[in-house]
């Protein structure tokens, strides 16, 4: 099973709302990622977790708060977002960081976020 | 700094024709290169990857790519396009020491016509 699942598929929120995106994988992968993808653009890395610890934060604004409660789950908590944060948010996982730089990243289908 | 350049944001081919999507990389150290495909409203799916084992890499759905160091290229090809190949294609690069941090190209949208 090479599936990464993401919920919800679509999310509409106001600028004062608090919401969360959820990502799950059951492949035993120890590295998980959040990407942001604007329309007609490539994905941009936001965060990387390795063994449930934050490894990389690509200078993402604090209104995005990641959380890795266990090795299978990755959340992205959203608060006070701006309309320009509207995008497709992709989660990915890979077996490990560093041991094999060529580890395949498996992507989920994404959550389409609209901020009003 | 590492980067990849995809020439042609849109490529249109007839069904049954050769598909050629271009990717050139810039890296001061040996790169590891990937091609991903993204169908509408979906996530990314790995087509193939170059890991320095063999310069000609075969992937899924009949795609292949050849790593050419002298040309700093990793172009994606398929001998015969199918309607189902219509999608966005991304080339990506990483290298040892970047903790699997992928740098993506800007993408090429492939259109397949009858």
Q: Which residues of A touch B107 (CB under 8 A)?
A: 40-42
Report yes or no: A89 and A20 within 8 Å, Cβ to Cβ.
no
Subunit contact B100:A98, Cβ cutoff 8 A:
yes
pLDDT in tens, A16-60: 899 999 999 999 999 999 999 999 899 999 999 999 999 989 999
**What is d(CA A108, CA B56) in angstroms, rounded to the nearest whole number?**
28
Predicted confidence (pLDDT) at residue B96 exceeds the cutoff of 80: no
Preceding amide of A8 cis, omega within 30:
yes
Q: Is the dihedral of CA B75, B76, B77, B81 positive or negative?
A: negative
B52: pLDDT confidence band, cut at 50, 70 and 90?
A: confident
Contacts of B69 (CB under 8 A, 6+ apart): none
Report yes or no: B52 and B30 within 8 Å, Cβ to Cβ.
yes
Predicted confidence (pLDDT) at residue A2 exceeds the cutoff of 80: no
Q: Which residues of B touch A90 (CB under 8 A)?
A: 43-44
Best residue in B5, B27, B37, B43 for a mutation probing chain A (most A CBs within 10 Å) = B43
Distance from CA of A108 to the nearest CA of B (A): 5
Pick the residue from chain A with its C-alpha nearest to B89: A42
Best residue in A25, A39, A88, A101 for a mutation probing chain B (most B CBs within 10 Å) = A101
Distance from CA of B42 to the nearest CA of A (A): 5
Predicted confidence (pLDDT) at residue B106 exceeds the cutoff of 80: yes
**pLDDT at position B101, please?**
81
Report yes or no: A74 and A34 within 8 Å, Cβ to Cβ.
yes
Q: What is the mean pLDDT of chain B?
A: 92
């Amino acid at each position: 099973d090479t599936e990464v699942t993401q919920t919800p598929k679509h999310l509409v929120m106001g600028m004062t709302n608090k919401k969360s995106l959820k990502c799950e994988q059951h492949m035993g992968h120890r590295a998980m990622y959040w990407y942001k993808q604007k329309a007609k653009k490539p994905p941009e890395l936001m965060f990387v977790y390795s063994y449930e610890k934050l490894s990389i934060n690509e200078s993402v604004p604090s209104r995005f708060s990641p959380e890795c409660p266990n090795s299978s789950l990755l959340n992205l908590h959203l608060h006070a977002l701006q309309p320009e944060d509207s995008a497709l948010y992709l989660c990915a996982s890979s077996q490990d960081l560093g041991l094999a730089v060529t580890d395949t990243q498996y992507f989920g289908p994404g959550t389409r976020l609209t901020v009003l | 700094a590492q980067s990849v350049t995809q020439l042609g944001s849109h490529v249109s081919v007839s069904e049954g024709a050769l598909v050629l999507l271009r990717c050139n990389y810039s890296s001061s150290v040996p790169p590891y290169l990937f091609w991903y495909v993204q169908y509408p409203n979906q996530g990314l799916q790995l087509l193939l990857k170059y890991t320095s084992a063999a310069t000609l890499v075969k992937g899924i759905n009949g795609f292949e790519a050849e790593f050419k160091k002298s040309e700093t290229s990793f172009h994606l090809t398929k001998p015969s396009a199918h309607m189902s190949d219509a999608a966005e294609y991304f080339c990506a690069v990483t290298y040892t020491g970047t903790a699997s941090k992928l740098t993506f190209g800007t993408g090429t949208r492939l259109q397949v016509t009858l």
